[in-house]
């Protein structure tokens, strides 16, 4: 069968590539065409555009690139209709994907599946109408989404979380020591504080300088190591790193870095869950120049109490979320001090991580999703 996939960022590339591998196991004649990344290309098929050509974040960047966004959307829609796949599989990235879904449902009979549900439970709950109209099957990776969609009388498939799969596979093949990791990357023998500042330039601009300033006071006992995003050059990071600050960048090694880290400062997103799965105590950091406005929206507009996947899955505060106006150097520094030095606080966080892992379930999300997708299509 022919599968068309659309991905808008690095994490989607990872999860879509694992799904593609699983689809090939279930369907020996699987053909792929996609908007995606290098990991998907390595599995096989034809890449129409790289996700880096789609990834614009924030109101101003999106507004500035509207013409490009609409052009990419038009290219995508026409390419799907021309190729006539047996199914269109959308991976997160709702601003782009839901519009494509609407067009495809209006102009064809191609079934549309959604892998990794858009987070409409946080805000924009009205999008449920579009999902009911345009999405034939929803494959969820977050257990609390079951009740959300049930409330709207829209049945979904919970297939486990692909982060569990990805990290389980990684750990099975990466049994390296701390010494070998630091030797390969030119690091010192001090314990590591990892900085995960996001995968987009706007996130990095907003978060990295504050993260560095907060953590730099601990460089007498720890070393700061930044997880370089796949699409970001060192030259971009360097403008936010002050002269004299001791910080090392490692690219395309986020899992290896987390495996060896003592603590982490993490920009909210999938990375918070990945940090949890590696049992690294963390502080969730998400700054925005419109701090007070965002803080107001968080209190009065968002439908959920938390923003990190860790706390959302646990349904309570497991990790501290320093968001908007709460993300200050002082607050980060204080929380980081606690998770580094308070043994009871640290251990309690790790115990809660274990509970979250139990809630998520066993590995196998990609295989379960592929099995269900192929079975539904063959009907």
Quick: pLDDT tens for 59-82. 445 444 556 666 888 999 999 999
- Per-residue confidence at 231, pLDDT binned at 50, 70, 90? confident
Per-residue pLDDT tens digits for 356-372: 999 999 999 999 999 99
The pLDDT value given to residue 172:
92
pLDDT at 55 over 70: no
Residue 104 per-residue DSSP state: H
Determine which of 130-134, 157-161, 266-270, 328-332 has the lowest per-residue pLDDT on average.
Answer: 266-270
Residue 291 has pLDDT above 50, yes or no: no
Long-range contacts, 233-238 (Cβ 8 Å, 24+): 236/201, 236/204, 237/204, 237/208
| In the predicted structure, residue 206 carries a pLDDT above the cut 70 | yes
One domain for residues 129 and 198: no
Taking 80 as the threshold, does the pLDDT of residue 100 lie above it? yes
Does residue 29 share a domain with residue 75?
A: yes
Q: Are residues 109 and 212 in the same domain?
A: no
pLDDT score of 212 more than 70: yes
- The dihedral through the CA atoms of 167, 268, 178, 343 has a sign that is negative
**In a shared domain, residues 130 and 151:** yes
- Identify the CATH number of the domain in which residue 204 sits: 3.40.50.2000
Of the listed ranges 50-64, 78-92, 149-163, the one predicted with least confidence: 50-64
pLDDT for the residue 59: 43
Question: For position 379, what pLDDT does the model report?
Answer: 86
- Whether residue 56 has pLDDT greater than 60: no
Q: Is the pLDDT of residue 86 over 80?
A: yes
Task: Select the more confidently predicted residue: 66 or 34.
Answer: 34
Whether 65 is in a domain gets the answer: yes
The pLDDT value given to residue 303: 55
Give the DSSP H/E element, type plus range, for residue 336.
Answer: helix 329-341
DSSP at 217: G
SS3 label, residue 66: helix
End-to-end CA distance of the chain: 13
Cα 170 to Cα 38, 40, 174: the distances in Å are 18, 17, 6
- Are residues 180 and 61 part of one domain? no
Residues 182 and 305 in one domain: yes
Give the containing element (helix H, strand E) for 267: strand 261-267
- In three-state secondary structure terms, 134 is helix
Confidence class of residue 324 from pLDDT cuts 50, 70 and 90? Answer: confident
Give me the residues paired with residue 309 across strands: none
Main-chain dihedrals φ then ψ at residue 353, nearest 5 degrees: -60, -45
Question: What is the strand order of the sheet 261-267 is part of?
Answer: 247-251, 223-228, 192-196, 261-267, 282-286, 320-323
Same domain assignment for residues 243 and 269: yes
The CA R_g of the chain, rounded to the nearest whole Å, is 21
Contact yes or no for 324/294 (Cβ under 8 A) = yes
Beta bridge partners of 296: none
**Residue 230 has what pLDDT?**
77
Residue 116 within a domain? yes
For the cut 70, the answer to whether the pLDDT of residue 250 exceeds it is: yes
For residue 102, give its domain range: 2-160+364-378
Q: 3-class DSSP state for residue 232?
A: coil
210 pLDDT more than 60: yes
- What digits encode the pLDDT tens for the residues 177-195? 999 999 999 999 999 999 9
Whether residues 129 and 206 fall in one domain: no
The per-residue pLDDT of the chain, averaged, comes to 90
Domain co-membership, 149 together with 6: yes
How far is Cα 86 from Cα 105, in angstroms, rounded to an integer?
A: 13
- Inside any domain, residue 311: yes
Rounded mean pLDDT of 156-171?
Answer: 93
Q: Is residue 166 part of a domain?
A: no
Segment 149-166 mean pLDDT: 94
Question: In total, how many domains does the chain have?
Answer: 2
* Neighbouring C-alpha atoms within 13 Å toward the C-beta of 343: 0
């Amino acid at each position: 069968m022919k599968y068309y996939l659309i991905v808008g960022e690095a994490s989607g590339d990872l999860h879509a590539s694992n799904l593609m591998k699983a689809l090939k196991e279930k369907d020996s004649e699987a053909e792929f065409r996609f908007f995606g990344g290098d990991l998907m290309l390595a599995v096989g098929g034809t890449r129409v555009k790289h996700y880096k050509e789609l990834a614009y974040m924030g109101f101003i960047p999106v507004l500035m690139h509207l013409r490009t966004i609409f052009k990419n959307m038009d290219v995508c829609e026409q390419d799907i209709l021309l190729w006539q796949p047996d199914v269109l599989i959308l991976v997160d990235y709702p601003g782009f994907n839901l519009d494509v879904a609407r067009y495809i449902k209006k102009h064809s009979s191609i079934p549309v599946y959604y892998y990794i549900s858009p987070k409409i439970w946080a805000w924009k709950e009205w999008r449920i109408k579009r999902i009911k109209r345009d999405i034939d099957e929803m494959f969820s990776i977050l257990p609390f989404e079951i009740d959300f969609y049930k409330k709207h009388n829209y049945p979904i498939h919970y297939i486990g979380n692909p982060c569990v799969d990805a990290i389980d596979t990684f750990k099975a093949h990466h049994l390296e020591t701390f010494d070998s990791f630091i030797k390969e990357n030119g690091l010192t023998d001090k314990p590591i504080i990892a900085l995960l500042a996001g995968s987009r330039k706007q996130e990095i601009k907003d978060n990295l300088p504050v993260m560095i300033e907060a953590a730099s006071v601990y460089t007498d006992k720890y070393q700061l190591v930044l997880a370089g995003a796949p699409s970001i050059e060192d030259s971009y990071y360097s403008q936010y790193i002050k002269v004299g600050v001791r910080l090392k960048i490692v690219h395309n090694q986020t899992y290896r870095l987390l495996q060896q880290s003592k603590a982490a400062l993490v920009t909210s997103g999938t990375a918070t869950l990945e940090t949890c799965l590696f049992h690294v105590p963390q502080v969730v950091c998400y700054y925005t120049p419109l701090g007070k406005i965002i803080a107001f929206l968080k209190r009065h507009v968002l439908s959920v109490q938390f923003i990190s996947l860790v706390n959302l899955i646990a349904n309570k505060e497991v990790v501290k979320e320093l968001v908007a106006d709460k993300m200050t150097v002082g607050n980060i520094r204080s929380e980081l001090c606690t998770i580094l030095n308070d043994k009871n606080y640290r251990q309690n966080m790790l115990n809660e991580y274990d509970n979250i892992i139990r809630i998520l379930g066993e590995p196998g999300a990609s295989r379960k999703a592929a099995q269900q997708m192929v079975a539904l299509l063959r009907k």
